[in-house]
Amino acid sequence: MEWLTDEIWLKLGLSTLLGLVIGLERELKRKPLGLKTSAVIAVISCLLTIVSIESAYRPLIPGLTRIQMDPLRLAAQIVSGIGFIGAGVILKRGNDHISGLTTAAMIWGAAGIGIAVGAGFYREAVTVVFLLLVVVELIPFLLWKTGPMRGLKKEYHVKILVRSSSDLDQIMQNLKKEKIEIRQSRVKDLENGELYSLDLRIKASSKVSFTELYAKISAMPGVASVEMAD
Q: Which H/E stretch holds residue 7?
A: helix 6-28
| Domain contains 81 | yes
Distance CA 44, CA 49 (A): 8
| Domain contains 198 | yes
Section 177-188 average pLDDT:
84
Rounded to 5°, angle at Cα 86 from 85 and 91: 115
Would you say residue 134 has pLDDT above 50? yes
Question: Are residues 157 and 117 part of one domain?
Answer: no
User: Domain boundary residue among 105, 128, 145?
Assistant: 145
Question: Are residues 108 and 204 part of one domain?
Answer: no
| Domain contains 18 | yes
Question: Are residues 172 and 131 part of one domain?
Answer: no
User: Domain boundary residue among 111, 145, 179?
Assistant: 145
Question: Are residues 115 and 48 part of one domain?
Answer: yes
Strand order in the sheet with 181-189: 181-189, 196-205, 153-162, 223-229
| Domain contains 25 | yes
Each residue's pLDDT tens digit, 36-60: 888 889 998 998 888 888 777 765 5
The predicted pLDDT at position 15 comes to: 92
| Domain contains 58 | yes
CATH number, domain containing residue 182 = 3.30.70.260
Domain, as residue range, for 189: 152-229
Question: Are residues 163 and 58 part of one domain?
Answer: no
Question: Are residues 77 and 166 part of one domain?
Answer: no
Cβ distance 153 to 203 under 8 Å?
Answer: yes
Cβ distance 217 to 223 under 8 Å?
Answer: yes
Question: Are residues 141 and 157 part of one domain?
Answer: no
Question: Are residues 127 and 61 part of one domain?
Answer: yes
Instruction: Name every residue whose Cβ is closer than 8 Å to that of residue 26 and which is 6 or more positions away in sequence.
Output: 32, 33, 34, 38, 103, 106
User: Domain boundary residue among 98, 126, 145?
Assistant: 145
Question: Are residues 51 and 109 part of one domain?
Answer: yes
Question: Are residues 140 and 157 part of one domain?
Answer: no
| Domain contains 1 | no
Each residue's pLDDT tens digit, 53-109: 877 776 555 655 555 667 777 777 887 788 777 777 776 555 556 667 788 888 888
Cβ distance 54 to 12 under 8 Å?
Answer: no
DSSP classification of residue 138: I
Question: Are residues 135 and 29 part of one domain?
Answer: yes
Distance CA 19, CA 82 (A): 14
Domain count, the chain: 2
Question: Are residues 37 and 134 part of one domain?
Answer: yes
**Among the listed residues 158, 150, 211, 207, the one whose alpha carbon sits nearest the alpha carbon of residue 179:** 207
Each residue's pLDDT tens digit, 139-168: 777 766 665 555 567 788 889 888 887 888
Section 186-199 average pLDDT:
79
What 3-state class would DSSP assign to 181? strand
Distance of CA 180 to the CA centre of its chain: 27
